[in-house]
Amino acid sequence: MPQLKISNRDARRLWLAAHGLSAPPRCDLETLALIRSLGFVQLDTIQVVSRAHHHILWSRDQTYREPVLDGLLATDRQVFEHFTHDASVLPMAFLPMWQRQFRRMKEKVGRSSWYGDALNADLLDTLMRRIADEGPLSTRDFDTRVDGPKEMWKRPPHKKALDYLWYSGELATSHRDGFTKFYDLAERVFPPDLRAVQLADQEQIDWLCHAALGRIGFGTLTDIRKFWDATEASEVSKWADQHTNALVPAEVQAADGTWSKVWACADIEARLSALKPATRLRILNPFDPAIRDRVRLKRLFGFDYTVEMFVPAAKRQWGYYVFPVLDGHRFVARIEIKADRSSKTLNVLNHWQEPGIAPSKTRTDRLNTELAKFARLADLDTVRWLCQSA
**CA–CA distance, 329 with 218 (Å, rounded to integer):** 17
Backbone angles phi, psi at 246, to 5 degrees: -100, 5
The interaxial angle of helices 52-60 and 67-74, nearest 10 deg, is 110
Predicted TM-score (pTM) of the model is: 0.95
pLDDT at 2: 62
Q: Is 39 left (phi over 0), alpha (psi -120 to 50) or beta?
A: left
Residue from 356, 357, 367, 358 nearest 389 by CA: 367
CA dihedral 343, 346, 347, 352 (to 10 degrees): 180
The dihedral sign for the CA sequence 228, 265, 216, 37: negative
Residue from 314, 308, 375, 321 nearest 350 by CA: 321
Residue from 74, 103, 73 nearest 88 by CA: 73
pLDDT at 252: 98
**CA–CA distance, 39 with 292 (Å, rounded to integer):** 14
Beta-bridged to residue 42, according to DSSP, are 88
pLDDT at 345: 98
Instruction: Check: CB of residue 14 under 8 Å from CB of residue 272.
Output: yes
**CA–CA distance, 141 with 306 (Å, rounded to integer):** 36
**CA–CA distance, 272 with 5 (Å, rounded to integer):** 11
pLDDT at 377: 97
pLDDT at 51: 97
The residue ranges of the chain whose pLDDT is under 50 are 1, 152
